[in-house]
Chains A and B, each alone.
Chain A
């Protein structure tokens, strides 16, 4: 397959690939059922599985294939599982910000956004002496104000937005923020709840592998970036762990892939910043011809 070198990856690498894990853990229960989750033992057990049972299995798999990954962890979950956070850092993986109680930023005042950001930073510094430089908004819901807030607090990159197959820069008054767009997330295939009804049912790992692998193939052909998003509570279930290994094995067949954490990729992007497109974090206002009925 002919590869068009569209992006200046280092050392003639044709694609940068990063496996990323959003470890939402017990915070998920409070998203699904804020009012009653504190009484629902079955529900909470399903989400606690992520950091307590899935995480060690995922770390062993990554170690076996010598892959360093990025873990986006809400501060609340880190506080509940300090040994898990330590294991992530010991394994050479990156720890990145993902809110505190996995708060969706949309609709929240900006001073609350800042409070959440500072709290998440404080948790990581306290537990493992690490200051995160990467961010993914809970529910991947950045606001126009988010990039400037991140840059003001020393973040190097964000990975919550779409809009391109390649990394790009988001302009802020404090300098450009690197954006690493995610290719695909496993939540829409595996996230499942009956009460309340959430998601689209449980998919076969064969189908989901196909979705991820074909997107990887297409991005590889275009010399782009592949950032996959996995949630340990679903990705670490036995059949999905097998699927993750199948995906890794598929990706490993390709020559000249740069396997890296999202921070490593962001650092490289800063060195070739003049070759990246820059966008402003603005949303075009609508222009309805008539008021809505």
Chain B
């Protein structure tokens, strides 16, 4: 099998992607009381209202084709934001309806959410999304088959390699655009583990790109407008774009574009293929009560 290569002598690929979670995350984090917590909600509405236009402006300046995963509930509330993304030539991907984790749904519910998102984007964006990113990066073993069934062509929720790979499922396949916690703004700025300084975050992100550049991988940055859209972090994103631009032969592209390349007849057979089989545990004895 020939080695996976990027097109036209490119040495590595970079995708700047955003999850525009908007109003959904407060309900995910505090279902009971989010409807009463105005201050909390405003901090998340900042994403589509303030962060998104700022990021689109930055992408326009640097001519970056971005990728925006959006829960369909947010698209319904911000059709102007969806239109701006489409006008800017960026890709749009499915990201649930109310940002539902696949692991928190049964198969029927999971399918209903997929269908709802396809319907919303077909209507508002004029085309259905071909890519999917699981909210919370929690793809279930059954999820890829459902995605294939509903016409999705790629996913961006797994962490299994440094380059795109192929997931066989449901009689078809998905191209996987791998992600990782390292290359995301939530672990650094989301507040779950404190809040990082932008300078230190720059070290973390830029060095991961440096490593991927050296080995010819794909660097997928996963960001959120409510976090990276804040002034200091938009400046950080600009520094990252400049850092990537310094290097020769980098292909900065949307995941839709990278997907199209991976599907080319000469390229597809060079991708590593995995199944959705998860190795079962082999406990030598039945588990005792967990230690606290």
Q: Does A206 contact B (CB under 8 A)?
A: yes
Task: Give the tally of cross-chain contacts (CB within 8 A).
Answer: 142
The one of A38, A201, A205 in contact with B203, judged by C-beta atoms closer than 8 angstroms, is A205
- Is the beta-carbon distance between B161 and A41 smaller than 8 angstroms? no
Q: Which residues of B contact A192 (CB under 8 A)?
A: 181, 187
User: Is residue B38 within 8 Å, beta carbon to beta carbon, of the partner chain?
Assistant: no
Q: Are B182 and A237 in contact (CB under 8 A)?
A: yes
Interface set, chain B 158-207, CB cutoff 8 A to A:
158-162, 178, 180-182, 186-188, 192-194, 196, 200, 203-204, 207
CB-CB under 8 A from A52, the residues of chain B are 160-161
- Does A45 make an interface contact (CB < 8 A)? yes
A2 within 8 A of B: no
Shortest CB distance A181–B (Å): 24
Contact check, B161 vs A53: say whether CB atoms are below 8 A apart. Answer: yes
Residue B9, interface by CB 8 Å: no
A174-213: which have CB < 8 Å to B? 192, 194-195, 197, 199-207
Given contacts A49-B160, A195-B138, A202-B188, A34 and B181 within 8 Å (CB-CB) = no
Q: Is B284 an interface residue (CB 8 A)?
A: yes
Nearest residue (CB) in A for B210 is: A242
B210 contacts across to A, CB distance below 8 A: 238-239, 242
Cβ-closest chain A residue relative to B213: A238
Tell me, yes or no, whether B103 is within 8 Å of chain A by CB: yes
Task: State the main secondary structure of chain A at its contact with B.
Answer: helix
Q: Quick one: which of B136, B200, B276, B284 has the most chain A CB within 10 A?
A: B284
Q: How many residues of B contact A (CB 8 A)?
A: 53
Q: Among the listed A26, A34, A239, which residue makes an inter-chain contact with B204, where contact means beta carbons less than 8 Å apart?
A: A239
Q: Does A204 lie within 8 Å of B192, measured CB to CB? A: no
CB distance from A116 to the nearest CB of B (A): 6
Q: How far is the CB of A110 from chain B (nearest CB, A)?
A: 13
Q: How many residues of A contact B (CB 8 A)?
A: 53
Bound: A44/B193 CA distance, A = 22
> Does A45 contact B159, Cβ atoms closer than 8 Å?
yes
Q: Is the CB of A38 within 8 A of B278?
A: yes
Name the contact of B159 in the complex, choosing from A49, A238, A239 (C-beta under 8 A): A49
Q: Which residues of B contact A (CB under 8 A)?
A: 103, 134, 136-144, 157-162, 178, 180-182, 186-188, 192-194, 196, 200, 203-204, 207-212, 214-215, 217, 276, 278-285, 287-288, 290-291
Given A76-B282, A100-B284, A238-B211, list of 17 further CB < 8 A pairs? A37-B281, A40-B103, A44-B278, A45-B159, A48-B160, A52-B161, A79-B282, A103-B284, A107-B291, A201-B187, A201-B194, A202-B188, A207-B200, A237-B211, A238-B215, A239-B207, A243-B207
Could you pull out 25 A-B pairs where Cβ atoms are within 8 angstroms? A30-B281, A37-B281, A39-B140, A41-B141, A46-B180, A52-B160, A57-B215, A76-B281, A79-B282, A115-B285, A119-B284, A194-B186, A201-B187, A201-B188, A201-B192, A201-B196, A202-B182, A202-B188, A205-B207, A206-B203, A237-B208, A238-B210, A239-B204, A239-B211, A241-B211
